[in-house]
């Protein structure tokens, strides 16, 4: 069902970037005006290649000028199918006790987590929220749930790139002047592009152009 006007705005407070698991720490559903959230059922839908890991830890809470309850213990739940359940769809039932009156209210969901199949697409994970049935609880829309990235390392340089002078040789046994203006290169930074990308025993090769040699190297910081 399409909503007749913009009732709510939905977003994830801190979308995670990872490879396989994406906790939705706080899904916020904010009213766009006072008394716009009503009682009813809505659902959140994951895209193809992704599903929700469970609903037992999920909680729907209220704050601001809005008071409600989730006393119906059959929700939240996965969407029922004739042959089981659709784990890519989580449904919530909202019972509004006190509508917002002096300030806009908010609903928020904690405890949800998305998991990706091995062949799930890379990039942004766009979730959908929509009403179920005739009640207009939320605005039907798409929002960012996270970003799927490969286990890769990002390589950057810090500061200005110096011009080095060809021919100022340093012997393999004497690197005492390796930090002068003729030899000192820019600081380079290796950084994970996703959590746990640089897992134990994973090796990264730093390859220099032909005829360029490293005579001295210092690891200044690791965190």
- 38-55: pLDDT as tens digits: 999 999 999 999 999 989
Residue 68: CB partners within 8 Å, gap ≥ 6?
39, 62, 94, 95, 96, 97, 98, 107
Residue 40: CB partners within 8 Å, gap ≥ 6?
93, 94, 131, 132, 133, 134, 135, 136, 137
**pLDDT score at 182:** 66
Domains and CATH numbers, the chain: 8-148 (2.60.40), 150-199 (no CATH)
Distance CA 42, CA 68 (A): 15
**pLDDT score at 220:** 79
**pLDDT score at 174:** 58
CB burial readout 13-32, b (16+ within 10 A) else e: eebbbbbeebbbeebbbbbe
Considering the chain, what percentage of its residues have pLDDT values greater than 70?
Answer: 84
- Residue in 10, 7, 12 with CA at minimum distance from that of residue 32: 7
- Could you read off the pLDDT of 170-213 as tens digits, one per residue? 655 555 555 566 677 888 888 877 666 676 566 777 788 887 77
Residue 109 has pLDDT above 70, yes or no: yes
**pLDDT score at 58:** 94
């Amino acid at each position: 069902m399409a909503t007749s006007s913009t009732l709510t705005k939905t977003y994830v407070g801190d979308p995670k970037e990872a490879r396989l698991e994406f906790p939705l720490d706080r899904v916020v559903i904010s009213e766009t005006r006072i008394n716009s959230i009503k009682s009813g059922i809505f659902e959140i839908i994951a895209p193809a290649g992704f599903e929700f890991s469970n609903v037992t830890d999920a909680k729907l809470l209220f704050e601001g000028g809005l008071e409600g309850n989730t006393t119906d213990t059959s929700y939240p739940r996965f969407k029922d199918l004739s042959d089981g359940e659709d784990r890519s769809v989580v449904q919530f039932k909202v019972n509004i006790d006190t509508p917002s009156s002096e300030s806009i209210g908010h609903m928020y969901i904690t405890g949800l987590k998305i998991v990706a199949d091995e062949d799930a697409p890379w990039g942004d994970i766009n979730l959908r929220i929509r009403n179920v049935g005739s009640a207009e609880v939320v605005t039907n829309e798409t929002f960012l749930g996270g970003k799927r990235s490969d286990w890769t390392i990002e390589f950057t340089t810090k500061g200005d790139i110096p011009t080095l002078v060809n021919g100022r040789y340093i012997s393999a046994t004497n690197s005492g002047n390796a930090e002068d203006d003729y030899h000192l290169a820019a600081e380079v930074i290796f950084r994970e592009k996703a959590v746990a990308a640089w897992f134990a025993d994973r090796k990264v090769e730093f390859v220099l152009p032909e005829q360029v040699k490293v005579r001295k190297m210092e690891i200044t910081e690791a965190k």
